[in-house]
Amino acid sequence: MKDQKRLYKEAMQVLKDTSRTFYIPITFLKNDLKVSVAAAYLAMRAIDEIEDHEQLSNDVKFDLLSATSDLLKDTFNDESYQELLAPYAAQLPEVTLRLADWLTFCPEESRKIVQASTSEMAFGMAKWSKANWQVHTREDLDDYTYYVAGLVGTMLSELWAWGADIQTDRDLAIGYGRGLQAVNILRNQHEDMDERGVSFVPDGWTREDLFAYAEENLAKADLYMKDINKRTVLLFCRLPLALAHKTLKAMQDGREKITRTEVEQTVEEVQAD
């Protein structure tokens, strides 16, 4: 068992190395809520790295993600997890190999929330890996974006209720996650098709239809914010949403993404508001 202080330092460093976009808003949170959300991000990133891995076959991804989903349903057994990953350990990043550490890092009171959501996400990722992420209908798109992002929204809502006594609407929480994911899909649309042969765009949809889908869900995200009355939680939720809105506008204007300067300005604006 690692010393909690050392584990905290290592977890926050891996978080920072893995995603500055989420590291910054997580630092807005306080105490157990901060640690819980950080642990949740790392746990979900651990399985995301399996889903996105360029060298693992879809069948291997399905097997790893399905088994990890099952392991997360009970007290997590790291020995079984390491045995599962052993044939691929040299190919997998630290954040994936150390899933047990992130769960240990998570406060015991919120660990069930984090494990249950990560387990369900792993199940959905396994299903979509098996299907080679081929989206054909609006229902397919809703299903995929629920598993990879809507679940983040519902998990956060459970954590807000647990750690800050904030009650939010589940459908709006899913919209919050879906809206952010839809912007990512738009940003990576051509890259996903060119490099992976994967399309998240339903049959018959234009890019404008995908923009409308993103706007519809970001509107739900804007409504979701109205239920949050604690400043630290509001700051956390505001930053990714503000960046998503600005990125969507940039793409509608014909740009690929917003600049690093615009990101930094947005962070300052959110903190000053």
Residue 177 lies in a domain: yes
| 8-35 as b/e: b if 16+ CB within 10 A | eebbbebbeebeeebbbbbbbbeebbbb
Residue 120 lies in a domain: no
Angle at 17 between CA 151 and CA 40, to 5 degrees: 25
Q: Are 153 and 177 in contact (CB under 8 A)?
A: yes
Q: Which residue type does 158 have?
A: E
Residue 118 lies in a domain: no
Where helices occur in the chain by DSSP H, the ranges are 4-18, 20-28, 31-51, 58-71, 78-85, 94-97, 99-105, 108-130, 138-145, 151-164, 170-191, 207-225, 231-252, 260-272
Domain that holds residue 52: 1-110
Are residues 146 and 92 both part of a single domain?
no
In the chain, the percentage of residues whose pLDDT exceeds 70 is: 99
Are residues 79 and 139 both part of a single domain?
no
Q: How far apart are CA 263 and CA 78, in angstroms?
A: 38
Are residues 4 and 82 both part of a single domain?
yes
Are residues 249 and 142 both part of a single domain?
yes
Closest CA to 217 of 176, 187, 171: 176
Total structural domains within the chain: 2
pTM: 0.94
Name residue, tokens 């099952």. 70
Each residue's pLDDT tens digit, 59-107: 999 999 999 999 999 999 999 999 999 999 999 999 999 999 999 999 9
Residue 122 lies in a domain: no
Are residues 153 and 252 both part of a single domain?
yes
Tell me how long the chain is: 273
Are residues 264 and 187 both part of a single domain?
yes
Q: Are 109 and 32 in contact (CB under 8 A)?
A: yes
Q: How far is CA 181 from CA 53, 100, 105, 150, in A?
A: 18, 26, 27, 9
Each residue's pLDDT tens digit, 252-273: 999 988 988 998 899 888 888 7
Residue 126 lies in a domain: no
Write the CATH number for 219: 1.10.600.10
Instruction: Give the gyration radius of the chain's Cα atoms.
Output: 18
Each residue's pLDDT tens digit, 130-183: 999 999 999 999 999 999 999 999 999 999 999 999 999 999 999 999 999 999
Are residues 137 and 73 both part of a single domain?
no
Are residues 86 and 139 both part of a single domain?
no
Give Cα 5 to chain centroid, integer Å. 25
Are residues 72 and 105 both part of a single domain?
yes
Residue 119 lies in a domain: no
Are residues 177 and 90 both part of a single domain?
no
Are residues 94 and 148 both part of a single domain?
no
Are residues 90 and 162 both part of a single domain?
no
